Amino acid sequence: MSGRTYVVTGVSCGIGAALAGVLKARGDVVIGLDIAKPHLDLDQFIALDLSDPVRVAGAVAQISGAIDGLCNSAGLPPRPGLAAKILQVNFEGTRALTRALRDQIQEGGSVVNLASRAGHGWRENVDQVKRLAVAQDMARFVAEEGIDPTRAYDLSKEAVILWTMAASESFANKGLRINSVSPGAVDTAIMSDFETAFGDRMIRNVARAGRAGQPLEIAHLAAFLLSPESLWIKGTDISIDGGMSAFNAADTMGLSGLV
């Protein structure tokens, strides 16, 4: 029973709900944020739409006292017509919430950002991420960059990974940690959105891994990264994808001769 206090976004379903259950089971206090009210009995629930900066500020104002960590699990999948909102929620709103809560996180505390295997192309897209990071109008940014919803989702997760990396030293200087987790396909209510967006590529990857991941599997990793047991892990993106990244990297580098 650790008795720590954590804020979890996206708490009404999927990975966020699973994480809240894990934290509650080990005796932690959980403050949940989401648009929809969760079925899980939390210590505090605050309705939040991450696409609205005013509501982000309002949610933060309702979180009193010190916390031990934050898991940014909320996010939108790649759906038609939502490119700008995907970037606003998955990256800008998430970053704004984290910045606003950082001073309430106690020394030794942790932030865990849910990125995605879809963000692993960040090395080729650093410049676009930098432009996104200073964009003032997401609809205009999407139009100028010619971004469709699938690219918006990938870009949002690339940005989460790079932001985590960029923020790691300033967090460390305050005695805090920030890391990201990149799941592959996970069996949640929005998995069909990813099947539509990524098509055969996703189907092949899931087949090679043997199955999709389960929310609880991702939640256990996030819970570990929130805990003091992971104190030496800082600024890192951890893949949890059933081997998908390794399989594809081995193919790309022609590593079959090493086996």
- Residues 212-241 have pLDDT tens digits of 999 999 999 999 999 999 999 999 999 999
Q: What's the distance, Cα to Cα, between the start and end of the chain in Å? A: 44
Q: Which residue has the tokens 């410049």?
A: 127
- CA dihedral over 236, 192, 92, 65, signed as positive or negative: negative
* Domain-wise residue ranges, the chain: 5-248
HEC-encoded secondary structure of 13-27: CHHHHHHHHHHHHCC
- The pLDDT tens digits of the residues spanning 167-190 come to 999 999 999 999 999 999 999 988
User: What is the C-alpha separation between 169 and 164, in angstroms, rounded?
Assistant: 10
Which among 45, 153, 171, 198 is annotated as catalytic?
A: 153
153 noted as active-site residue: yes
- The pLDDT tens digits of the residues spanning 15-44 come to 999 999 999 999 999 999 999 999 999 999
Q: Which residues of 51-73 are buried (b: 16+ CB within 10 A; e: fewer)?
A: beeebbeebbeebeeebbbbbbb
DSSP character for 177? E
Assigned superfamily of 5-248: NAD(P)-binding Rossmann-like Domain (3.40.50.720)
- The pLDDT tens digits of the residues spanning 38-81 come to 999 999 999 999 999 999 999 999 999 999 999 999 999 999 99
Per-residue tokens: 99: 């910045």
User: Closest by alpha carbon to 209, among 251, 151, 248?
Assistant: 248
